[in-house]
Amino acid sequence: MACECESQIFSLSGPTFLTAVDWSNSHHRRSVAASLVQGVYTLEEDRHRNRQGSDALAPPWWLSFNFRLVQILVDSHDVSHFGAVFEFVNYPYYHQAPAGQRQPQYVVAFRGTIPKAGNRKEDFKLDIHLAVNNLQKSSRFQTGLEAASQAVRYGTVWLAGHSLGSSLALVVGREMAKSYGVHLETYLFNPPFVSPPIERIKSDKVKLGLRLAGSLVTAGVAVVAGAVAGAGAGARDIDPFVALSTWVPYLFINRSDPICSEYAGYFKHREDMEAIGAGRIGKVATKNSIGSILSSREALHLLPSAYLTINGAAAASVREAHGICQWWRHDLELEYKYYQHN
């Protein structure tokens, strides 16, 4: 969900301190990506409230960083604005980026769920698709994939999304990597992890015990169902999980957010399983979920590799912990960890 009321106004709530973007600075890149996602939220609010021209609040969220809006991504069912394509206007497409600079030529950004009249029906429907690993069957995925596929023909493309929107960015990025061999720089803010939020339990021993039991069950079900590499007629096919290992998206999670916090435990548990000599079980469990095995669908939220950024600061509420606006604050104390699937 978006941050409320005045947070739609860039001059009041945006990263106004970022007057000159250093594209080699990871904090600046994160702040810009999060601002563009907030711009999509505000686009939809502008549509709802019929704010046009000088009354529209969305444009400063991209104009402040020298982007222009080149395409609005519209849901075919409720005609809501769920995404947008932005072009960096000060970057000549025929020149190479200066050494050390990492600015994109295009950013495809997706908003998350808006639990309001006019949005909640289709947004909640997408949340259900997400929960059952079926998001790639939605029209929003098809629209987003087409937008990314078109943009990548003309230059460097980033993907960015928040909450449900990060799941859309995730499945688009997965498809671009698997089907086209294109690894897009991807920023996933508060990406949903379809699992009980074990990470919020205080005791490390209890967390390890629960995750170990879950891994044993998942690995056992995977073996019985033939989901382990080497089983069944497709044994010689490339494991899609392994095929994705060289694509490394950026994940931004808050430990106080039950929607995404389990990503921290998911990656740490892989290391714990190796440490206790259960690496083989861990490798099977890390790329499967009970739901994905029973439905014969890929567990779209499970990732082989990632740059994980954790905001461990206490939040006043789950709403605050899940908000997009935390990710452009300049006073954050963050934990960083790089995970590469071996």
Band (229; pLDDT cuts 50, 70, 90): very low
> Strand order in 306-311's β-sheet?
67-74, 81-88, 106-110, 157-162, 185-189, 250-254, 306-311, 334-339
Backbone torsions φ then ψ of 87, nearest 5 degrees: -115, 135
Region 66-78 average pLDDT: 95
- Of 10-14, 162-166, 236-240, 337-341, the poorest mean pLDDT is in 236-240
**Residue 206: Cβ-neighbour burial (10 angstroms; 0-12, 13-18, 19+):** exposed
**DSSP 3-state of 77:** coil
Name the nearest CA neighbour of 309 among 326, 294, 296. Answer: 326
**Percent of the chain residues topping a pLDDT of 90:** 57
Q: Give the tens place of pLDDT for each residue, 16-44.
A: 999 999 999 999 999 999 999 999 999 99
Look up residue 29 and give its two tokens: 């890149």
Per-residue confidence (pLDDT) for residue 235, from 0 to 100: 45
Name the nearest CA neighbour of 165 among 81, 55, 69, 49. Answer: 81
Per-residue confidence (pLDDT) for residue 327, from 0 to 100: 97
The answer to whether the beta carbons of residues 50 and 94 sit under 8 Å apart is no
Write down how long the chain is. Answer: 342
CA 166, CA 41: separation in Å to the nearest integer?
A: 13
Domain 5-196+243-278+300-339 sits in CATH at 3.40.50
CA 246, CA 306: separation in Å to the nearest integer?
A: 9
| 98 has a pLDDT exceeding 80 | no
Region 242-266 average pLDDT: 93
- Of 91-100, 178-187, 327-336, the poorest mean pLDDT is in 91-100
- Of 8-17, 79-88, 226-235, 301-310, the poorest mean pLDDT is in 226-235
Spans of all domains in the chain? 5-196+243-278+300-339
The answer to whether the beta carbons of residues 215 and 281 sit under 8 Å apart is yes
CA 251, CA 200: separation in Å to the nearest integer?
A: 18
pTM of the complete model: 0.90
What sections of the chain are H helices per DSSP? Answer: 10-13, 26-48, 60-63, 120-131, 139-151, 164-180, 204-225, 240-243, 262-275, 279-286, 290-295, 318-321
Q: Is 106 left (phi over 0), alpha (psi -120 to 50) or beta?
A: beta
CA 99, CA 106: separation in Å to the nearest integer?
A: 19
Per-residue confidence (pLDDT) for residue 92, from 0 to 100: 53
Region 65-94 average pLDDT: 89
Band (4; pLDDT cuts 50, 70, 90): low
Q: Is 308 left (phi over 0), alpha (psi -120 to 50) or beta?
A: beta
Per-residue confidence (pLDDT) for residue 171, from 0 to 100: 96
- Of 106-120, 218-232, 247-261, 277-291, the poorest mean pLDDT is in 218-232
